Structure 1
Amino acid sequence: MNTQSDYPAAPPPGCPAHGSGKRVPLYGPEFAADPGAFYAHLRSYGPAAPVELSPGVEATLVTDYAAALQVLQNPDTFAKDARRWRAFNEGKVSPKSPVVPMLGYRPNCLFTDGAEHMRLRQAVTDSLAGVDPHWLSRHVERVSSYLIDQFSARGTVDLLNDYAKMLPLLVFNELFGCPPEIGDRLVFGTSGIFDGGVDAEKANAELTQALVELIALKRRQPGDDVTSRLMQHPAELSDEEMIHQLVMLICAGTEPQRNLIANGLYFILSDEKYSGGGMMVEDAIHDVLWNSPPMANYAPHYPVQDVELEGGRRLNAGDLVLISFAAANTDPSLSSARQTLSKRAHLAWSAGPHACPAKDSGQLIAVGAIEKLLNHLPDIELAVPVESLTWRPGPFHRALAALPARFAPVRPKQPPSMPAERRSTPAAGTGSRPPGRPEKGSWWSSFLSWWKA
């Protein structure tokens, strides 16, 4: 049996825990540069291993596929309610820790259990079900065209920051009915809490305040959008519950989505098997979800009592337990079985009662964004050697810092007219910006102006 005190030798080269007998840190540049080496080392502990998410924030990371399913599919044994987090309750983790915004309790369907979870999840699932996939596909194409037009004449682009990052933000601003002055602030807040840096607390506060204003707006002026449908659901969510469901939806729909798009483009532009055109974009997305999932380590759980994982690792009640989707998907014991498993057997969308309710929409957005780019710029290629690309540090995501590319310059196309009933326009009284004057740096205002041109 493995216990928390078992510390195998030989951490990956460069690991700050090398030879120290300490928990393995997942927040430094060494981990971001080569997570596969870290996962290989962590597997030597058994099905789960002791890690550190940020200085002083300890967790157990499940790296085994079968053990991951044991946690994800047994809510009676492994609870999601973060108020069970023993180290946080005992004051060992500061509320100001940069990873707390991603781990601390919120009254949403990600951090609740039992009947309360079912009530909140049903409201979210029903509200998302109102999104027409055909409309969503057309909107992704419109947003893709707009973003491509911003750089197509240059012949160079950072596909991460100029395309993959902005596309889901613009798509979800429309889905949630965000006016530009609110939507632009969501960009800062969402990105900040995923990075887990020193500004995470400020980013969390900005995100919350922007959503308070969005909910007040939709109480006055409901529309055909996810926010309004969530507000009108029979579950009768309070304003506080509304805020926290929207935080969950926006965080799940923007930051991971941009990394899914960027990592898909990275696979396509750097792997020779895609260069001949025989592989489809869907194949690249499945490659990403299996081998480089945008949420690499997450799904926090807390044992309700002392328990032993399959493979013999003991967990104590109230321990913070995370699932390494990346490590579980690449579990060596699956190497032969993966040839016969369904393409969707990966854990990138999680599993069990808390599995992602919008995985089909997420895949549709990523495939549509990549196909539009490749069709419009068929000669696009990486502008730098693959080995020079860097990955953003952070314990939760697998995210490039940039993805420079080059192509033959193309004259921007004039946009077709956008149906009036689908246009999002700023509502009066939602900000101090004078009517008709886009706020400086507002991507959403710029997008709307582009459509009206």
Structure 2
Amino acid sequence: MTPVPKTGCYLEGLSGLTSLSATTTCLDPQAAYRRLWETWGPVAPVELGPGIPVWLVMGYREIRSVVRDELHYSRNSSNWRLIADGHIGPESGLAPIMFPRDNAYFSDGDKHRRLRAPLVAGLAGLREQHMAQVIRETCARLIERMPDEGPIDLVALYAAQVPMLTVAGLFGIAPELGDRLQACVIGLFGSGEDSAERFGEMETIVAGVISEHRTAPAEDLTTAFLNHPGHRDDGEVLASMLLMLGAGWETLQVWIAQTLRIMLTDPRFEARVRGGHLGIDDALDHVLWADPPMANQPTRWAVADTVLGGQRIARGDALILGLAAANSDSWVGGHDRRDSGNRAHLAFGVGPHACPAQRASRLIARIAVETALHRLPDARLAVPASEIPLRPSPWTRGPEHLLVTATRARF
């Protein structure tokens, strides 16, 4: 265990740190997390980007402690020293993910509760039976459009399409805007050179949707957001919509793709799921434990000097929540905790900022996986499992492509 330094700002001056992306783009992320833990303990310094050190919180107990302690750890990124001193500007690829917004994600206390209320109310108002029917029709339509010959990419043609068409549809966004929004979100979570440009394009599209709904209200989430007293102006409505569209699409498409991947690559799951001995929900839960869609969740910022997991955290430091690492913490029982029905994982977060769309997300993911298994019963990988590429992102871990050969079942 590295000794705790006697001065604050421990992150300053550190170099040669492991890149956060190394935990999401390697074949064995748990091995990467173990190496960090063995060197630093449950809280490790890593690089979010060149010259941008952050803390990666990997301990289950440490994450639960952070998310419940607003006195020391804030969701408002204006507390980040690197923003305050101008080290990271609005043109940075990290800006769309890390810069403060007027939504529930980047707020604390009363403001967080006010801005979260429209999200909770809007999701509670969804008619699940109708929503399920729309999802099934969307999934079936996407499978019908798949080519009759050659490999099928279940990510590009299916897993990436279902969430965007569904979530955008809930907001009353025209389907033809789906592809543009999808490209924007990919750029957003890639945190690369085009992220700021993509986010600006996304803002323009959604602002147009809000303007149209001001003129012509409808029975959808956009109108519900506009009418909810928790939103004080259209700027807050815009920020809330961007949050749900971005986070909802990214995590859902990875969840669906990862579940399909294990069913195609893990003999235990392929035999048991197809044989009826393991339900779809069990497979979905396995992914949430073993390879959660949001592997590393942004972020908390220290608002006071403190100590966490044996490390001295200085005011202004950034902390990334290593959800994938925490799910394998021996404190929660190691691999035994993945028994059917155990949902003590951190994949949806925990505390006041836990994902408010867990029920809706599971509905979408379950129907998407179930429909693919039903309509593509003989699907087989078209490439070796070791050659499935991972999409580059420091935050999420999922296949960039999932090429299969399959015959569509006709009904």
TM normalised by structure 1 equals 0.83
**Structure 1 pair 339–227 and aligned structure 2 pair: CA distance change class (3 A):** closer
CA-to-aligned-CA distance 1:390-411 (integer Å, 9 cap, x gap): 1122210112111011123556
Please say if 1:37 is aligned against 2:31.
yes
Question: Which moves more between the two structures, 334-343 or 255-264?
Answer: 334-343
Please say if 1:323 is aligned against 2:337.
no
| Partners of 2:296 and 2:394 within 8 A in 1 | yes
How far off is 1:152 after superposition?
5.8
**Structure 1 pair 302–236 and aligned structure 2 pair: CA distance change class (3 A):** closer
Residues 307-318 of structure 1 aligned to structure 2 (within 5 Å):
307-309=306-308, 311-318=309-316
How far off is 1:30 after superposition?
8.4
Q: Counterpart in 1 of 2:9?
A: none
Question: Which moves more between the two structures, 273-282 or 22-31?
Answer: 22-31
Q: 2-side partners of 1:3 and 1:254: how far apart?
A: 41
How far off is 1:4 after superposition?
7.4
Question: Which moves more between the two structures, 121-130 or 230-239?
Answer: 230-239
CA-to-aligned-CA distance 1:227-278 (integer Å, 9 cap, x gap): 1101101224311101100110001111111000000001111111122222
| Partners of 2:24 and 2:394 within 8 A in 1 | no
Q: 2-side partners of 1:5 and 1:293: how far apart?
A: 33
How far off is 1:143 after superposition?
0.5
Identity %: 34
Q: Counterpart in 2 of 1:250?
A: 245
Please say if 1:178 is aligned against 2:173.
yes
Residues 22-171 of structure 1 aligned to structure 2 (within 5 Å):
22-27=16-21, 31-44=25-38, 45-151=40-146, 153-154=148-149, 156-171=151-166
**Structure 1 pair 106–21 and aligned structure 2 pair: CA distance change class (3 A):** closer
How far off is 1:333 after superposition?
3.1
| Partners of 1:155 and 1:408 within 8 A in 2 | no
Q: 1-side partners of 2:363 and 2:231: how far apart?
A: 30
Q: 1-side partners of 2:151 and 2:341: how far apart?
A: 38
Q: 1-side partners of 2:338 and 2:317: how far apart?
A: 35
Q: Please tell me the root mean square deviation across aligned C-alpha atoms, in Å.
A: 2.1
Q: Secondary structure at the match of 2:356?
A: coil
Q: 1-side partners of 2:136 and 2:2: how far apart?
A: 51
Please say if 1:343 is aligned against 2:342.
yes
* Code of the aligned partner of 2:225: L
Q: 2-side partners of 1:360 and 1:2: how far apart?
A: 42
Q: Could you list the runs of 5+ residues in structure 1 that have no partner in the other structure?
A: 7-19, 414-453
Q: Could you list the runs of 5+ residues in structure 2 that have no partner in the other structure?
A: 7-13
* Code of the aligned partner of 1:302: W
How far off is 1:29 after superposition?
9.3
How far off is 1:303 after superposition?
1.8
Q: 2-side partners of 1:22 and 1:71: how far apart?
A: 26
Q: Secondary structure at the match of 1:301?
A: strand
Please say if 1:237 is aligned against 2:236.
no
Residues 437-448 of structure 1 aligned to structure 2 (within 5 Å):
none
Q: 2-side partners of 1:101 and 1:4: how far apart?
A: 33
| Partners of 1:60 and 1:322 within 8 A in 2 | yes
CA-to-aligned-CA distance 1:63-100 (integer Å, 9 cap, x gap): 11110110112222211111101122112223322122
| Partners of 1:28 and 1:394 within 8 A in 2 | no
| Partners of 1:3 and 1:314 within 8 A in 2 | no
How far off is 1:305 after superposition?
0.8
Q: Counterpart in 2 of 1:14?
A: none
Q: Counterpart in 2 of 1:420?
A: none
Q: Counterpart in 2 of 1:192?
A: 187
How far off is 1:183 after superposition?
3.5
* Code of the aligned partner of 1:281: I
Counterpart of 1:332 (choices 330, 333, 340) is 330
* Code of the aligned partner of 1:306: D
* Code of the aligned partner of 1:107: D
TM normalised by structure 2 equals 0.92
Q: Secondary structure at the match of 2:105?
A: coil
| Partners of 1:33 and 1:390 within 8 A in 2 | no
Q: Counterpart in 2 of 1:353?
A: 352
How far off is 1:28 after superposition?
5.5
Q: 1-side partners of 2:213 and 2:408: how far apart?
A: 42
Q: 1-side partners of 2:148 and 2:358: how far apart?
A: 34
**Structure 1 pair 79–341 and aligned structure 2 pair: CA distance change class (3 A):** farther
| Partners of 1:299 and 1:350 within 8 A in 2 | no
| Partners of 1:297 and 1:325 within 8 A in 2 | yes
Q: 2-side partners of 1:307 and 1:349: how far apart?
A: 26
Q: Counterpart in 1 of 2:375?
A: 376
Q: 2-side partners of 1:254 and 1:284: how far apart?
A: 20
Q: 1-side partners of 2:244 and 2:408: how far apart?
A: 36
Q: Counterpart in 2 of 1:303?
A: 302
Task: Decide which structure has the larger Cα Rg and report it.
Answer: 1
